[in-house]
Amino acid sequence: MKRRWTLYDPRLAWMLVAPVLLLLIFFLVLPIAVMAGYTFFTFVTAGVETSALTTANWHEFLTDSYYSGFLLKTLRVGAITAALCGVLGYFPAYFIWATTFRHKWLLLLLLIVPFWISFTIRTFSWINILGEQGVINVALLKLGIINEPLPMLYNEGAVILGMLHFLLPYMILNVYVSLESIDRTLISAARSMGCTSAQAFREVTLPLSLPGLAAGLLLCFVLAAGSYVTPQLLGSGRDALFGNLIYDTIMGELNWPMGATLSIVLFIVLGLFAAVYTRYMGMSQIVKGLGG
């Protein structure tokens, strides 16, 4: 016997979410599950592996300092990038929030415009600034300050700069969203009780904007640690990060089991950071930051 359909029937809801749900299962959940299984496959030779189960890949990863070195470097670069984003991103976010400038929307729009510009183009455009024929070197040479172009490209600094460039808008928008949700009467109240503006900032505004800052830090850290294109374009071979290692292992060496192992490692490590974050902060701030 068929049950009657109610107004907000769960069965209808499932039908509505079915396409997205299927996509998520077949393109996100299942791939990661299969990849986890693949880490136990045996590598024979480039592009060939057998399903004989082995822990050799994990053993190699855990004992070879080559891999742990890569992981540590990636985490370090990600942490430096996120911290710089936090420091440099807070000022503009606060400025946009506090300014009495009438065309505030323009400042916000300018932050969103970079999201529309191709990421590859934004990254390689730094070559025009830092390269041997870039703005800085040519200007300094013309002025006679230096005799030879400074080598500013293809090092870790350039990679961090490039990542900073694409991550700053994320950070600024995240902090701005949380500043915007602060009840401004709280600050007036603090001021009327005799706080200086610096005290009011330290005691009221800053603590209340910390969730946005934390969400921004997590987002910047995860995106920086998972990046592939920026080290590829702005770094030398020595500045490769974990993402590049994964790509080379799979597309270059065709060592699929090891590539799967490395991917799962990165997934687990970044997942742990995200889990610690959500444990204390919850998901809602990230949702606000992404959709904001």
Partner 1 sequence: MRETRRKQEGRWAWRLTGFVTVCVYIFMFAPIVATVILSFNASMFGGFPMTGFSLQWYGKLMANEAVLAAFRTSLWIALVTAIVTTAIGVTTAFALVRFDFRGKQALSTLVILPALVPETILGVGLLVLIKAVDQPRTMLLLVLGHILLAVPYVVLIAQARMIGIRRVYEEAALSLGASRFSSFREITLPLLIPAVVGGALLAFTISFDNTSASLFWRPAGVETMPTQILSMLKISISPEINALGTVMILVTVGIPLIGGLVLQSLTKLRRRGEPKEETQ
- Among 217, 222, 240, 255, the residue binding partner 1 under the rule CB under 8 A is 222
Name the one range near partner 1 by CB under 8 A: 57-65, 173-181, 208-216, 218-226.
218-226
Q: Point out which residues pair with 48 in neighbouring strands.
A: 45
Residue 48 per-residue DSSP state: E
Q: Cα separation of 97 and 84, whole Å?
A: 20
- Decide if residue 291 touches partner 1 (CB under 8 A): yes
Ramachandran area for residue 41 (φ above 0: left; ψ -120 to 50: alpha; else beta) = beta
In the range 238-257, which residues lie near partner 1 by CB under 8 A?
Answer: 242-243, 246-247, 250-251, 256
H-helix or E-strand spanning residue 234: helix 229-234
Which residue, chain included where needed, has tokens 């961090």? 160
Residue 122 neighbours by CB under 8 Å, 6+ apart: 114, 165, 166
Amino acid letter, residue 170: Y
Residue 175 neighbours by CB under 8 Å, 6+ apart: 89, 90, 93, 94, 209, 212, 213, 216
Closer residue to partner 1 (CB): 55 or 196: 196
At 42 the three-state DSSP class reads: strand
The footprint of partner 1 on this chain (CB under 8 A) covers a number of residues equal to: 93
In the range 267-286, which residues lie near partner 1 by CB under 8 A?
Answer: 267, 270, 274, 283, 286
Q: How far from 98 is each of 70, 95, 184, CA to CA, in Å?
A: 42, 5, 10
- Among 7, 52, 143, 145, the residue binding partner 1 under the rule CB under 8 A is 7
At 44 the three-state DSSP class reads: strand
Q: Least Å distance between CB 272 and partner 1?
A: 13
Cβ-contact 11, 25 below 8 angstroms: no
In the range 10-49, which residues lie near partner 1 by CB under 8 A?
Answer: 10, 12-14, 16-17, 19-21, 23-24, 27-32, 34-35, 38
Q: How far from 140 is each of 126, 132, 233, CA to CA, in Å?
A: 17, 11, 24
- Decide if residue 146 touches partner 1 (CB under 8 A): no
In the range 156-195, which residues lie near partner 1 by CB under 8 A?
Answer: 164-165, 168-169, 172
- Among 197, 207, 238, 252, the residue binding partner 1 under the rule CB under 8 A is 197
- Decide if residue 198 touches partner 1 (CB under 8 A): yes
Closer residue to partner 1 (CB): 156 or 169: 169
Amino acid letter, residue 182: I
- Among 216, 225, 240, 285, the residue binding partner 1 under the rule CB under 8 A is 225
In the range 74-113, which residues lie near partner 1 by CB under 8 A?
Answer: 88-89, 91-92, 94-96, 98, 110-111, 113
Closer residue to partner 1 (CB): 58 or 119: 119
Q: Point out which residues pair with 42 in neighbouring strands.
A: 50
Closer residue to partner 1 (CB): 156 or 218: 218
Q: Least Å distance between CB 62 and partner 1?
A: 19
- Among 131, 211, 212, 235, the residue binding partner 1 under the rule CB under 8 A is 131
